[in-house]
Amino acid sequence: MIKVAMTSVFVDDVAKAHTFYTDVLGFETRIDLNLGDGILFITVGAPGGAQPDLQLLLEPGDGPIAEPYRTALYEAGIPAIVFSVDDIGAEYERLRGLGVRFTHEPQPQGPVIAAVLDDTVGNYVQLTQPQRPDG
């Protein structure tokens, strides 16, 4: 059986992204390595997750492939990554209270309710919650 172990999101500043993804979004640090020469290898995962769990690598986004890709997504308003939440209304209010900027408030989109926020390091992030059968 093959499982997803790690995926990445390209960011403007790895240290700033680490702070946002942990202190604001609530992820927990899984790996935090300083590889020297200012190179950081940092992954985060869902709070309380049993290891090994799916980890998100906060990857420098200034390379010749990453920068145009990330910039194009951002300029088009396309989220770089999608996270699920149990209660999108409560999460939206919590994050707004922390000063997070949303480009889209929670709204129905097919089988989910979705909202989009700016992660402060060059990406839009979509939050989703499955719609209840009663709408």
**Tens of pLDDT along 72-83?**
999 999 999 999
The amino acid at 97: G
pLDDT of residue 82: 96
- Residues 10-16 have a mean pLDDT of 96
For 27-78, write each residue's pLDDT tens digit. 999 999 999 888 889 999 998 866 668 899 999 999 899 999 999 999 999 9
Q: Is 63 helix (H, G, I), strand (E, B) or coil?
A: coil
Q: Is 99 helix (H, G, I), strand (E, B) or coil?
A: coil
Nearest CA-CA partner of 101 in 125, 82, 130, 78: 125
Q: Which domains does the chain have, with CATH numbers?
A: 6-130 (3.10.180.10)
The two tokens of residue 125 are 């992030």
